Amino acid sequence: MSQVSETTVAPTARSTMQISDTNVAIEVIGMHKWYADFHVLRDINLKVMEGERIVIAGPSGSGKSTLIRCINRLEEHQEGQIIVNGTELTADLKRIDEVRREVGMVFQHFNLFPHLTILQNLTLAPIWVRGIPKAEAEATAMHYLERVKIPEQANKFPGQLSGGQQQRVAIARSLCMQPRIMLFDEPTSALDPEMVKEVLEVMISLAEDGMTMLCVTHEMGFARQVANRVIFMDQGQIIEQNEPEAFFSNPQHERTKLFLSQILH
Amino acid sequence: MTDIGFVRADMVDAKPAPNRTSGVIAWAQKNLFATPLDGVLTVLGLIFLLWIIPPIYNFFIGHAVGPGGTVEECRMENAGACWAYISSEMEFFIYGFYDIPQQWRPNIVFALGAALLIPLLIPKVPFKRTNAVLFLFVYPVVSYFLLAGGVFGLSPIPTEKWGGLLVTLIISVVGITLSFPLGIILALGRQSKMPVIKTLCIGFIELVRAVPLISVLFMASIMLPLFMPQGMTIDKFLRALVGVTLFTSAYMAEVVRGGLQAIPRGQYEAGASLGLSYWQRMYFIILPQALKHVIPGIVNSFIALFKDTSLVYIVGMKDLLEAVKTKNDTALEWQSANTATTGYLFAAMVFWVFCFSMSRYSIYMERRLNTGYKR
């Protein structure tokens, strides 16, 4: 568990992260999901306002990854409603694509396209999904590569980059679609310890820019600094949620206490 | 108690690797005469080569009758391969019964094919898109009208007269270019979530894969006409083409499926999460990687198809091998001890040249496409 040093976030950062009072980014209502007979998600209710930064924590197998994967329909839910940016996710492919265009996702294992250069990884979707001219897409891609501090890698292939660099490229790739919501599925879990920080810094700067973020992560330092809400899940349900300060200093549920005692040492 | 504390004072600089022994003698020592047993095996191997090479040389070159030789020379005692027979019957081996004054037509088709295909295969040559369109869409039409005739004052030449290498190449090229995309579609269909499509694809693949090509060709030539309306016929050559293509596409589908399964699920998901549609995901992300993994399998299928073209003799077509066989059996004026052998050797060499080229090209392609994974 690596801790991000407190100095990486400017003291004023938190106050600049505006959370909308009226605009709902994601709304999950009474959602259930089964893998065959296994009930993985049970009665999930969650409302995320624009600009919120939510960290989802919980033991492995608690359904936290499955939950955020439902939000861009990488997984299908069987009961209840998921409404993203006002669009309800159903089997309708058009709606699914509509939602996916506005929701970026960063995976544990980066999932860059190994046969394409970094620049091609970044421009593929903007060109073919958004219909942006190639030159413009490349300019945007370079902008985001600079933002994640690796513009010099643009013409390399993913296999030539370190894990931390690959994950930053993956974040830049999502940003190139100019999403309104970003989902992070354990983005630092597959990284060597010395590379965790560089990825977290990018995520923090995203948060400072007011991006709506849902992060499944074990980086409790990140949760403390950036999240405005921490959600604790176990056995497919939301057990507890609170502001980070209260969540860490004064957990209510027994499971939360147990979990925190196991990871914070 | 020993002192376990250690602090490095100086860093060790990298230095070049030790020299390896090189040169012919060092190589021979290492690879040929490392142990007494190795030495004995090397000597035995040399004796075997000395024993086998001279007769082979004599048959193919030393005592062979070259192009321009006569049948009398071929009939002489000790004569080797009768290349004179091949060169004098070359026209038949290439064109079959195609009208001799009209043979410029297949020649143009050959030349045009080479002119379009070779630049397509060399990565550096520009205008790939135009080139591909010309080769895949314009060339077949032009070739068909040139070969079959009946338009623009070209005399009609029925496909029954086509033969030899011409037929072998047409069936192979058409079979390869059609079975490849068809195989991909079938493989994708087999993985589809839509039950009807999936069932159809599995049904087709498992049915076609489980019957011999010969029976597919038989069915195409004998059964198909039974289902056709009265008076309607489909050209025998076309039927063979369809048979070979469908047969290969079933195999191709399974090869491609192997490649698709090698792609991690994360690649599909990353594409999906970026909003790419199913076909965009397949075209830009999945297939380029999947096909690269299975190049050896794909080329295997192509080579198998190229050699299987010989089976069209079943439905009465004279491909290269059948043309050679026909000549061997009927060219009494060329009868000699080695005529038939030479004919078959010639056919084998032609097949080998084409198949070996495909194999080498695929290896070249594999290396070229390896960029994505080099570290």
Is the pLDDT at A150 greater than 60? The verdict is yes
The pTM of the full predicted model, rounded to 2 decimals, is: 0.82
A111, A113, A125: residue with CB nearest B275: A125
Model confidence at B234, in pLDDT bands (50, 70, 90)? confident
* Tokens linked to B330: 């009927």
Tell the residue number behind the tokens 């594999």, with chain if given: B366
| pLDDT, tens digit (0-9, with 9 covering 90-100), for B106-162 | 888 888 888 888 888 888 888 888 888 888 888 888 888 887 877 887 788 887 788
Amino acid identity, position A86: G
A101, A107, A115: residue with CB nearest B270: A107
| pLDDT, tens digit (0-9, with 9 covering 90-100), for B52-78 | 999 899 888 888 787 877 777 777 778
Helix (H, G, I), strand (E, B) or coil at B343: helix
Q: How many CB atoms lie within 10 A of CB B218?
A: 16
The answer, for A158 touching chain B at a CB cutoff of 8 Å, is: yes
B264, B277, B288: residue with CB nearest A115: B288
Q: How far apart are CA B66 and CA B83, in angstroms?
A: 5
State the pLDDT at residue A1: 43
Alpha carbon distances (Å) from B181 to A30, A159, B121, B177, B201:
45, 29, 17, 7, 14
Task: Pick the most confident of A11-15, B18-22, B108-112.
Answer: B108-112
Q: How far apart are CA A108 and CA A111, in angstroms?
A: 8
Q: How far apart are CA B227 and CA A259, in angstroms?
A: 71
* Closest among A116, A101, A71, A81 to A216, alpha carbons compared: A71
- What mean pLDDT is predicted for residues A81-104? 90
CB-based contacts of B282-289 (< 8 A; 24+ apart in sequence) = B282/B188, B284/A113, B284/A124, B284/A128, B285/A113, B285/A124, B286/B260, B287/B184, B288/A115, B289/A113, B289/A114, B289/A115, B289/B259, B289/B263, B289/B372
The answer, for B371 touching chain A at a CB cutoff of 8 Å, is: yes
Residues contacting residue B231 through CB under 8 Å, at least 6 positions apart:
none
Cβ–Cβ below 8 Å for A124 and B284? yes
The answer, for A155 touching chain B at a CB cutoff of 8 Å, is: no
The answer, for B267 touching chain A at a CB cutoff of 8 Å, is: yes
Cβ–Cβ below 8 Å for B273 and A158? no
The answer, for A177 touching chain B at a CB cutoff of 8 Å, is: yes
3-state helix, strand, coil in chain A (%, to 5): 40, 25, 35
| pLDDT, tens digit (0-9, with 9 covering 90-100), for A31-78 | 999 998 999 999 999 999 999 999 999 998 899 999 999 999 999 999
The answer, for B265 touching chain A at a CB cutoff of 8 Å, is: no
Cβ–Cβ below 8 Å for B275 and A100? yes
B269, B288, B375: residue with CB nearest A74: B269
* Tokens linked to B141: 């039409």
Looking at CA atoms only, how far is residue A157 from chain B in angstroms?
6
Task: Pick the most confident of A253-257, B92-96, B155-159, B310-314.
Answer: A253-257
CA atoms within 13 A on the CB side of A217: 29
Alpha carbon distances (Å) from B22 to B17, B25, B31:
14, 8, 12
C-alpha B270 chain-centroid distance:
35
Task: Name the residue of chain A whose CA is nearest to B292's CA.
Answer: A115
| pLDDT, tens digit (0-9, with 9 covering 90-100), for B306-354 | 988 888 888 888 888 888 888 888 877 888 878 888 889 999 999 999 9
Among A175-189, B73-87, B161-175, B338-352, which stretch is predicted with the lowest mean pLDDT? B73-87
State the pLDDT at residue B134: 85
State the pLDDT at residue B366: 85
Model confidence at B357, in pLDDT bands (50, 70, 90)? very high
State the pLDDT at residue B373: 52
Model confidence at A5, in pLDDT bands (50, 70, 90)? very low
Looking at CA atoms only, how far is residue B355 from chain A in angstroms?
28
Model confidence at A3, in pLDDT bands (50, 70, 90)? very low
State the pLDDT at residue B226: 74
The torsion angles phi and psi of A101, rounded to 5 degrees, stand at -60, -30
Residues of chain A found within 8 Å of residue B276, distances taken between Cβ atoms: 124-125, 128-129
Alpha helices in chain B (DSSP H): 24-31, 36-57, 71-75, 83-88, 90-95, 104-121, 128-133, 139-148, 164-190, 195-209, 213-218, 224-227, 236-262, 265-273, 278-280, 287-293, 295-308, 320-330, 339-368
State the pLDDT at residue B101: 80
Cβ–Cβ below 8 Å for B280 and A72? no
- What mean pLDDT is predicted for residues B32-50? 91
Amino acid identity, position B49: L
The answer, for A169 touching chain B at a CB cutoff of 8 Å, is: no
- What mean pLDDT is predicted for residues B164-179? 90
Q: How far apart are CA B244 and CA B27, in angstroms?
A: 49
Is the pLDDT at B258 greater than 90? The verdict is yes
* Tokens linked to A152: 């010099």
The answer, for B262 touching chain A at a CB cutoff of 8 Å, is: no
Model confidence at A137, in pLDDT bands (50, 70, 90)? very high
B267, B275, B369: residue with CB nearest A113: B267
CA B134, B138, B143, B144 dihedral sign is: positive
State the pLDDT at residue B199: 93
Cβ–Cβ below 8 Å for B273 and A159? no
Residue A80, H or E segment = strand A79-84
Is the pLDDT at A16 greater than 60? The verdict is no
Looking at CA atoms only, how far is residue A15 from chain B in angstroms?
31
A109, A116, A125: residue with CB nearest B274: A125
Is the pLDDT at B219 greater than 90? The verdict is no
* Tokens linked to B10: 């100086």
Q: How far apart are CA B35 and CA B41, in angstroms?
A: 10
State the pLDDT at residue A2: 46
Q: How far apart are CA A47 and CA A24, in angstroms?
A: 7
Which ipTM did the prediction report? 0.88
Model confidence at A265, in pLDDT bands (50, 70, 90)? low
State the pLDDT at residue B2: 67
Among A87-101, A237-251, B75-89, B175-189, which stretch is predicted with the lowest mean pLDDT? B75-89
CA B166, B171, B172, B174 dihedral sign is: positive
**Hey, which residues does B303 pair with through a beta bridge?**
none
The answer, for B370 touching chain A at a CB cutoff of 8 Å, is: no
| pLDDT, tens digit (0-9, with 9 covering 90-100), for A51-62 | 999 999 999 889
Cβ–Cβ below 8 Å for A125 and B264? no
